[in-house]
Amino acid sequence: MKELKYIWELFIHNTVNKINSEISFYQKIKKILLIWFITFLTLFILVPFFGFLSSLLETYFKINISLNSIDTDFYNNKNNILYHNKILYIIYILILGPLIEETIFRLVFNLKKISIAIFCFGISFLFIKILLSYFTKLPNLHFYTILFTIPLIFGIFIYLKITTKWVIFFKTRFFLLLNIILFGSIHIFNIDNFNNWFIPIYLFFSIPKMIVGLNLTYTRIKYGFFYGLLLHSLFNFGSVIRILISN
């Protein structure tokens, strides 16, 4: 509950506190493990409930909410190199994946211009990828050119033009909440047979991901980027075990 109280205080006071550097590395690791355990128990209770609601929607309303993780879908694609190489898969899930997501979503809390530019690049990259996916199922050279060029230009523009007035926005409670929601909601686009009319329902089912985002945000702000990255890798460790056992 301390984690929720702390993050709530950030929202109330409209600011992001300085990183807690008063406790030792060992104490921080204990805190990270505790946060992971509490989150695991929370999801252990919530996920079956959401699974039950999902089955009801699919049975009575033909709404498919099979919300799989990006990592699982990425690995299960037989055309992907990770499908045939478990070592690369483990590296991707435990190191590269968390590093990319933490860099995009939570490095920004150091309020540096380059970090804000990376956030803007990453978010625009994700949304343009989603938008382009509506027009083509087989990515080609034009697809990747647009996918990388527009976000890159946008990120550079933000880096060059952002002012102190806009930097303040990234330390508000509104941005904290927006960041958590974005992290959770971006996963709804992994749903099979995605239907735009059901987006509000999909967002409701992304609550478990938002809870993970909440704890990652809390950890990053209170203990620093490295510890948020470590916690993210711990969250992904379960996916590694599940895939290795099933294959």
Specify the pLDDT at position 75.
Answer: 46
Specify the pLDDT at position 27.
Answer: 92
Specify the pLDDT at position 178.
Answer: 93
Specify the pLDDT at position 129.
Answer: 86
Taking only the tens place, the pLDDT of each residue in 139-185 is 677 788 888 999 999 999 999 999 888 888 888 888 989 999 999 98
List per-residue pLDDT tens for the chain, 247 residues long: 555 566 656 555 544 545 555 788 899 999 999 999 999 999 999 988 988 998 898 888 887 776 554 444 444 555 555 656 777 888 888 999 899 999 999 999 988 999 999 999 999 999 898 888 777 766 677 788 888 999 999 999 999 999 888 888 888 888 989 999 999 988 787 676 777 788 888 889 889 999 999 999 989 988 889 999 999 999 988 777 776 776 6
Instruction: Give the C-alpha separation, 58 to 54, whole Å.
Output: 6
Q: 55 exposed, middle or buried (CB, 10 Å; 0-12, 13-18, 19+)?
A: exposed
CB pairs under 8 A, 24+ apart, for 230-238? Answer: 230/32, 231/32, 231/35, 231/36, 232/98, 232/101, 232/102, 233/94, 233/95, 233/98, 234/32, 234/33, 234/36, 235/36, 235/39, 236/71, 236/93, 236/94, 236/97, 236/98, 237/94
Instruction: Give the C-alpha separation, 205 to 47, whole Å.
Output: 9
- What residue spans define the domains of the chain? 68-111+170-247, 112-164
Output b/e per residue, 166-194; b: 16+ Cβ within 10 A. eeeebbebebbbebbbbbbbbbbbbbeee
Instruction: Give the C-alpha separation, 131 to 149, whole Å.
Output: 15
Taking only the tens place, the pLDDT of each residue in 21-32 is 578 889 999 999
Q: Which residues contact 41 (CB under 8 A, 6 or more apart)?
A: none
| Residue whose entry in the numeric block shows the structure tokens 């690791």 | 29
> What is this structure's pTM?
0.85
Specify the pLDDT at position 69.
Answer: 44
Instruction: Give the C-alpha separation, 209 to 188, whole Å.
Output: 10
Instruction: Give the C-alpha separation, 9 to 35, whole Å.
Output: 18
Specify the pLDDT at position 241.
Answer: 78
Instruction: Give the C-alpha separation, 209 to 48, whole Å.
Output: 14
Q: Which residues contact 141 (CB under 8 A, 6 or more apart)?
A: none
